[in-house]
Amino acid sequence: MKILVINGPNLNLLGRREPAVYGIGTYAELVSYVNQCAEALGLSVTVFQSNHEGALVDRIQEACGRFDAIVINPAAYTHTSVAILDALRAVGLPAVEVHLSEPLEREDFRHVSYAGLACEKRFAGQGFDSYRLALEYLSARGGADT
Ligand code: CA2
């Protein structure tokens, strides 16, 4: 099973600021953790990060026919991007929303998730483990619906 893990803006700065919110792990450590979890589950993962909404939309579109499922942390675009929601709906792959923090316990503007409307599952507030739980969920679920 091939899974595309997509990370949105500023997640590349992990470990450098706001450790109380996002933890002390760096982005490189997150990628390494995701790769280790995938290997343990027998999954193939590709991890992509961009600070640009259009680049995230492009990667979602390109996933069609190349991947079986998507794990996405759209970061701030979670709360603003109809384009990412539309792209996820357009490709129709099983998608899981993940967050390091729990946006529902933070500012009101983080309580809306557009991307989440196209995701069948959500894991949040568990740091790096949110990604592991998403991979475990998809591993148990299996690939794309036909
Ligand atoms: O908790 C999450 O994973 C978020 O998706 C992280 C986003 C935030 O906008 C969402 O509401 C919740 C922010 C990612 C920014 O990451 C930083 C990393 C280091 C320093 C500052 C920000």
In this prediction the pTM is 0.96
Atom of ligand 1 nearest to the CA of 101: 1
- pLDDT attached to residue 110: 98
How many angstroms separate the alpha carbon of residue 41 from the centre of ligand 1?
26
- For 94-120, the DSSP string reads -EEEEESS-GGGS-GGGS--SGGGG-S
Indicate whether residue 101 lines ligand 1 (CB < 6 A).
yes
Pairwise CA distance, residues 26 & 16, whole Å: 7
Place of tokens 């992990």: 14
- What domains does the chain contain, in order, with CATH numbers? 2-141 (3.40.50.9100)
Cα 11 from chain centre: 11
**Is the pLDDT assigned to residue 143 strictly greater than 90?**
no
Pairwise CA distance, residues 111 & 103, whole Å: 6
- pLDDT attached to residue 146: 43
Catalytic residue list? 22, 99
